[in-house]
Amino acid sequence: MRFDGWIAGVGTTSGTRLVLGHWPGSPFGPVTDVMVEYGDGRRVLLAQTEELGRFVADTYSFETVRVVPFEVSRSGAAWSVTAGPLTLRFTTGGRGLLGRLLHAVPAPLARRLGWVRLIGVPARVLPGVRTHGSAGNGRREWYAVQDLHRITTASAVLDGVNLGPLAAVDPPVRFGFGSTPRTPSLVRVTTTVQLPGSGPQPRRGRGAGPAGSSSAWL
């Protein structure tokens, strides 16, 4: 199962953290989801379709799953997302050193699972970040990151409450086996999910791509 697109991790001064998965290519067609963790630890999934919601909820951990309409638009560095009760807007900056290094790796190599395992070792210097690991219901995941931009500004309103200005993703989110980087970031990523009984590793090939969103990436 391949999901090809973007993941954005955003913290807010209210303590609520948001993980957006925008997937133009996925087994479920073009879809988007947002994982929300409140300051008190409650985890909520906002999914664009019931099918996507079931898949993501079987892969990650949530107390609540809500299927809501989504609208996503992008104009240059500015993103705007409406997901039912959530309005999220953010702007990205240029690539830092890590982003330039990731962008320099040819995409076919960056998506190879062997490469993902290899860079998983240095990725561990970033607290909570993992490039592969075990997920829910016996599944395994690989995050092939191909680009990274810092998020420089963000605003979010959820259920009529302003979540406050942009802040670090701290504490780390707890949806899966890893977290997003502490520094708010947008990554270009291909996520591979191996289902139980599908073989020793997922078949390589062009991702069709979470939203799975995934909550762990380099």
Report domain extents, the chain: 2-194
pLDDT of residue 56: 94
Give the per-residue pLDDT at 148. 85
Query: CA 18, 59, 44, 168: dihedral to nearest 10 degrees?
Result: -20
Q: Extract the residue ranges of the chain whose pLDDT is less than 50.
A: 121-125, 127-128, 200-218
Give the pLDDT confidence score for residue 202 in this predicted structure. Answer: 40
**Structure token digits, residue 16:** 């609520």
pLDDT for 102 equals: 61
The CA distance from 6 to 92, in Å, is 12
Q: How far apart are CA 133 and CA 141, in angstroms?
A: 6
Beta pairing partners, 22: 6, 32
Identify the pLDDT of residue 190: 86
